[in-house]
Structure formats: C-alpha cells, structure tokens
Amino acid sequence: MAVYTQLAAEELAALIGHFDVGELVSAKGIAEGVSNSNWLVETTGADGTGARFILTMYEFRIEVEDLPFFLSLLDHLAAKGCPVPRTIHDRNGALYRMIDGKAVALIEFLPGVSVSHPTPGQAKAVGRALAQVHLTGADFEGFRPNGMDLFESRRLATACGHDGMLRIDPALADLVERELPGLEARWPTDLPRSVIHADLFPDNVLMLGESVTGLIDFYFACTDITAYDVAVTHAAWCFDHEGQNFNPAISAALLEGYESLRPLSTEERAALPVLARGAALRFTLSRAYDWLNTPADALVMRKSPMAFARRLAFYADPANSGIFA
Amino acid sequence: MAVYTQLAAEELAALIGHFDVGELVSAKGIAEGVSNSNWLVETTGADGTGARFILTMYEFRIEVEDLPFFLSLLDHLAAKGCPVPRTIHDRNGALYRMIDGKAVALIEFLPGVSVSHPTPGQAKAVGRALAQVHLTGADFEGFRPNGMDLFESRRLATACGHDGMLRIDPALADLVERELPGLEARWPTDLPRSVIHADLFPDNVLMLGESVTGLIDFYFACTDITAYDVAVTHAAWCFDHEGQNFNPAISAALLEGYESLRPLSTEERAALPVLARGAALRFTLSRAYDWLNTPADALVMRKSPMAFARRLAFYADPANSGIFA
C-alpha cells in the first residue's frame, strides 16, 4: 500500500499526452496495490467534459509480458458488459507504455467503495459478478497458467521451511505439512477451466450499496479450474478478517448469487471442499513467505498468514463438511 | 506520505452522512501528508450532480485545538476569492468531527497538479497568490503563534546536538552554530505581521498551466512577519531539489509576482536576506531533527537536511547579497 515512484507533474502530463483523453487536470498518488504504484488522474477528457482514470505503474512481481493478457482481458470483459474497467489504449493503440523503464497503463476509473463488512445482499451480488466473469470470459483467447497453483504452494512451503513456519506459529508447520500432500493427491484434474480472477478479495470489488460497480486488480488472473475461483472468493469473503469466524449467511448468499448465473455442476460442487482448502493454503503460504521475507522497514504492511491458516483448518475440519453441500 | 489509518467504507459512509454532500460514491486513500491521512472522496453531491472532497484525518503533530484556526482561515480566504479549499461544515456547523478519537475534516477538492520544475511564469503566479493570501488574510481575526520560529530553531539545534549534526554532515554543525546566534541578534522585530502560510512548497500549490488553482496544507499557518512568508516561499521555490543551484529567473519572477499585488516596503526588502537565512535554517533544523529521530522502519521518507543547509549557506554568502536588492 504505497506509491513507490515519484512522478513529476510534468512527466505525468507528457505521458497523458500520448492518450486521447484531453489534458491533465489532477493527479493524486493513491495508497492501493502492493506490486504497483497508482495515481487517480483527472483530465479534461477527449470531449472536454472531464474524465478520470487510474494510472498504474507496474513495479514488482508483474511481468511485462503478462500485461497483454491482463489488459486485453479487461477489454474483453468490459466489452461484454462485465463491471470491469476498460484499458485506455494510447494513440498508437498500445495497451501500455514504458516510462523510466517501467510499464504504465491507463485504466478506466470506476465508482464504488470496497466494503469491509459485507451484507448477504452484497455477497450475492459479488457471486453473480464472478459468474459473469466466468461466462463472458469463456471465449477469451488469452491463456496464462496459474502462477499460484498447488505446485507453487509446494515451492513456497519448501522455501519457508519447517523452522520458518514454526517461527510464525507453532501450529502452522503441522497444518501445512498435513494438508499439502492430501491436496496434491486429490486435486481435481477434469473440472471445467476458464479465465479466472483468482484474487477476488473485498479490496478488489467496488460496490455502491448492493451493486457491484467494479471488479479490479486482475493481476493474478489466469486460466485454471473455474470452480477454484469460487473457492478463492469464498475464502476471501466468508470469514472475518482474522479468519476466526465463518459467516454462513455470506457463504450461502455468495453461492446463490454465483449459481443464479452459472449453476455449479455436481462435480464442481463436490470438489469445492478440496478447492477451498487449496485456496486457503495458497494464501497461507504466500503470506507466510512474505512474512518471512519482507524486511521490517518495508513500506508494505505484512498480512497475517494465520488469518488464512485458520480458514484452512476450518475447511479441513470434517465438522464443517456440510457448508458446500 | 502514507495513509496511517484504515477506514472501512462503512465508517466512511457513516461519516459522510453527517455532511450535506449526498452519498458516498468513491474513496481512495491518497499518498499525501506526513502528519495526516487523506482520502479523495466522491459523493453524489448535495444537488445530485456529484462532488469531490479531501477527507483529512489528523494523526500527528497537529493539535486539535489549532484546527479552528486552520480551517476557519481556509473559509476566510476562500470567501474572499483566494484559491484555497473551503472547509465543508457538518450539518451542525462544526468544522471538524471526531472518529475513533481522531479529528477529521472534509475539505473542498481543487483541481491542479504540483509542479516539480516551475517556470518563471508559474513562480510569478505563486508569488501573486501568496500576496493575495497576505492581503485577504489581513483582517482574519484568528491568532496563532509560529511554532517553527527562531526559538524553535534554537531548541531543535540543542536537541540535535553538535554530535548529532556532525553525524548528518561534517559541515552542518559549524554552519548552524555560526548562523543561529547571528540571526537571533539581527532578527527583525518591527516588520508588519499577518497570517502567513509558512510552508508554501511546490507540493502545497496546485497549478494548471501558469494559473494557481489551489494553495493547500495550511497546517503551519500562523501569525508572523509577513515578509518571512516571502522568504520561506523563496527558499522553497528558487533552488533545485537538493539546494545545489539557485535559479535567478525563478527568484525574480516570484518577487515580481508578489509585488504586483503587495509591494514590499523598503524595510521588508532590506530584511529579506536575514529572513531567508532564518527560513533556510528552520527547514534545515526540522529536517535534521526528523533525520535523527525518525525510525528506519517508518512509513515516512526522511527529507535531506542538507538540501536546506545548502540554501542556508547560499543566503549567508556575501557574494549572493544582491539577489534581494
């Protein structure tokens, strides 16, 4: 949550000049994104009536060669009516530009706020919007493997090490070492695949009341098991922040909203418990790795791995097997 | 440059409900301010046509008892046509509200960007805007002593200590210990006083082209020698960032712009060299103190004291005595 790069107003104005959006009126660095710097930019607009954009500079983790996938996916989904921001192409049609050796993209600004305490009505709308992404993304031609799949979880667990996990929490190493082999053995291989968001946390959803106005931050989007995205979203939305309390009403509403547009098949629904454990494990391990490898003086706030280890333990507990029934 | 506090959308919406500005549409934490957290907030507007505001939460350094001075000063200046943001009063007329034990104010959003490499035309406009503040602030009834005056510089020099200054730069201690007694002996006592901004760096000026659209961040504003504000602004604008190069064209334009509205008296002009040394010393010492006392893991970027020590040395050099002639 930081702006890593200082961009002088003069540089920004020159950059904006490469797009058909009028002239720069305002630019504020915004405290969003851990892998990129973002500015909320206002211009006079192509027609002079004013327009707003998010200017994103890709700083870490995101490979420039992946940008065409992410940015053309936004265009594909937006063109089909999904509530996602369009990419603004420059005057030459390019999806992104380079400035000081870093890639920058100009992206449509969407209204809405990210809720912290969703209501069932909001969860239902989010489920529905996720299904819309899956349905309208079905004919998206881009392909990108999931860089945060179970293989990566195994790699992260090894990188953290037994002792590293013990340092975070005495119970973490056991939990991960018990779950990982079981999930590797039982991970589904024949479920439908499509483009998925893979990171649809409340932070990445803009809402007004009970309407979804924007799904944002598609920088983990990839081609993977469609129902896995439901599991990720479930893990992200159906617990309190620290993962201590499961909220059955949010869970039911999320699934109901999703199935109102895209009913899950019997096989998909049967796989949800395993997929949810995989999703919880993925965030447990990426956070554990960051926890052990983020310098104490970093500008980025470390997120607790245990908040997702608790979700993992919840999904793994046979007493909770009924929640996806 | 950070957002220190997480405010849930639900909290923000409830807060906005206390003002007659319509409903919350968007809120982005912005990376501005070192003593406060700021959000760029959009609402439906009192009349439904949309409105934007800066929501400021006062985190450090700023005393709540000073807020009526700062916020009613904005109202006073804005009402008289100065390019400063109005304070939005809540439905009960209050200038600020408390949330989670911290004061928050809702302030008009103004367009414009902060320039990094000002042109003489821009410097002239800034000088003129500063004079406008001094003229229209003349009948402002609030009074606030300057907390960053020469007494404070003496206190900060003592707090840094000879050894602390040596740690920053071998030349710093000598420079400060030579300048401070001289300035204390020669500091003017009979020049006109008024409300002054006291911190008018390029960061605190919003511009569109060569027009000033906003003077912001009045949290050092106080009642002090009017011409001292000219000196502070001179030190802030007329050098490159590191204070290595003086820009005579910017200096001339700034003073010309100022005097186009408020000509300096003979006494004020004669005092500018001393006032400029005091201004450069003030920022040298506040930065030196912060440099020595900011933990390495702070979210805030430390600013170089030497960038202002170089300005101080420049102003103190008899070879440069002609710049204010």
Interface touch B9/A111, C-beta < 8 Å? no
**Does position A145 have pLDDT exceeding 90, yes or no?**
yes
**Does position B53 have pLDDT exceeding 80, yes or no?**
yes
Cβ atoms within 10 Å, residue B301: 11
The two tokens of residue A91 are 């005057």
- Domain ranges across chain B: 9-108, 120-324
Which member of B9, B111, B296 has the closest CB to residue A113? B9
The two tokens of residue A96 are 């992104």
Pairwise pLDDT comparison (B59 vs A28), residue with the higher score: A28
Q: How confident is the model at residue A45 (pLDDT cuts 50, 70, 90)?
A: very high
**What pLDDT score was predicted for residue B303?**
83
DSSP one-letter string for B74-142: HHHHHHTT-S-PPEEP-TT--S-EEETTEEEEEEE---BB--SS--HHHHHHHHHHHHHHHHHTTT---
Looking at residues B31-56, what average pLDDT do you find? 90
Which member of A10, A40, A296 has the closest CB to residue B297? A296
Q: How confident is the model at residue B301 (pLDDT cuts 50, 70, 90)?
A: low
- With the C-alpha atoms ordered B150, B155, B158, B160, is the resulting torsion angle positive or negative? negative
Out of 3.40.640.10, 3.40.720.10, 3.30.200.20, 3.90.79.10, the CATH code matching B9-108 is 3.30.200.20
- Residues of chain A whose beta carbon is less than 8 angstroms from a beta carbon of chain B are 1-3, 8-10, 12-13, 24-32, 40, 42, 111-117, 206-208, 296-297, 299
Q: In angstroms, rounded to a whole number, what is the distance separating the alpha carbons of residues A42 and A51?
A: 6
Q: How confident is the model at residue B296 (pLDDT cuts 50, 70, 90)?
A: low
Q: How confident is the model at residue B1 (pLDDT cuts 50, 70, 90)?
A: very low
Q: What is the pLDDT of residues A178-233, one digit of tens each?
A: 999 999 999 999 999 999 999 999 999 999 999 999 999 999 999 999 999 999 99
Same fold, B9-108 and B120-324: no
CB–CB contacts below 8 A, A to B: 84
The CATH class given to the A120-324 domain equals alpha beta
Mutant choice from B26, B57, B299 vs A, greatest count of A C-beta within 10 A: B26
Q: How confident is the model at residue A5 (pLDDT cuts 50, 70, 90)?
A: confident
ipTM for the predicted complex comes to: 0.86
Helix, strand, coil distribution of chain A in percent, nearest 5: 45, 15, 35
Interface touch A8/B117, C-beta < 8 Å? yes
Q: How confident is the model at residue B114 (pLDDT cuts 50, 70, 90)?
A: very high
- Measure CA of the first residue to CA of the last residue in chain B; give whole Å: 38
Which of these, B117, B109, B15, lies nearest to B57 by C-alpha position? B15
Amino acid at A187: W
Q: In angstroms, rounded to a whole number, what is the distance separating the alpha carbons of residues A227 and A267?
A: 10
